[in-house]
Amino acid sequence: MTAPRRILLTGASSGLGREMARHLAGPGVAFLLCGRRADALKAVATELRDAGATVETALVDLTDVAAAQDWVDTCAVQPVDLAILNAGMFDGRGRDGALESPMRAAVQVETNLTAPVTLGLRLADHMRDAGQGTILFISSLGAFSAHADAPSYSASKAGLTAFARALREDLAPDGVRVAIAHPGHIETPQTEVHRGPLPGIMPAARAAKVILSGLARGRSEIDFPGHLRWGLRFQSLLPWRMQARINRGLRFWVDDGPGDGKGK
């Protein structure tokens, strides 16, 4: 894979997005970054510039389809070599035992599924016209496992993987590459609010290295940790009641802070 020069990255202000930007930074690289927190995004931009990259930043509500499309159109005035659609959110059962409200479920689906779908479609138009480019969708191993404590999250990631696979097939004849990463638990703000077992958890810097190494080797799907992915493959062959029995030891809840009202 030729080293990308213009890189679009959502969710760049912290966690996995920030670490991927750090790995890719260097002279001759131009970043087009989007995040939710101005101060954190500014700090990341400064670090990347210190590494020799040029950086443009934007605060965009990615669930606002028109605003997100305008941002992509502005970024694609010159061809985008690599687009990493990383922004997402995590929610689920609260400490009170109740699942997230319908409103919070809708926001989660908009953030994790609708936003990358609409961004991906717009980027696909631009890359198809340019005859080149790569779109990397950051999904999750949760796409292959229906978590009873986070059904909306599971559905959003399963939908994202299905969409990315379909888009990959559609764009392949036009010279546009689509790749999907399915990481397990990563040390990010997401796992900081997760109250329960976190098998196979790894630092964000290591996860970023695994994803970008797989991308550089030409892999279309980057699933890790491998033992968890194979375990999920086997589990999917079992009756659902047996799967539920296996999952009992992995049940969890999500802590949003004191009171944990979570908008219910």
Residue 7, Cα to own-chain centre: how many angstroms?
15
Query: How far is 11 from 225, CA to CA, in rounded Å?
Result: 22
Closest CA to 114 of 75, 180, 66: 66
Residues present in the chain in total = 264
Active site residue 153: yes
Residue 127 Cα distances to 18, 113, 174, angstroms? 24, 21, 9
CA distance between the termini of the chain: 47
Residue of 90, 137, 153, 224 marked catalytic: 153
Q: Which two tokens stand for residue 25?
A: 């930074």
- Which 3 state secondary structure label does DSSP give 83? strand
- Which 3 state secondary structure label does DSSP give 85? strand
Handedness of CA 240, 243, 247, 248 (dihedral sign): positive
- Tell me whether residue 152 is exposed, middle or buried, using C-beta atoms within 10 angstroms of its C-beta: 0 to 12, 13 to 18, 19 or more: buried
- What are the residues whose beta carbons fall under 8 Å from the beta carbon of 157, sequence distance 6 or more? 112, 113, 139, 140, 142, 143
Please name the residue ranges forming H helices in the chain: 15-24, 38-50, 65-75, 102-109, 115-130, 151-171, 189-192, 204-216, 226-235, 240-247
- Show which residues are catalytic: 153
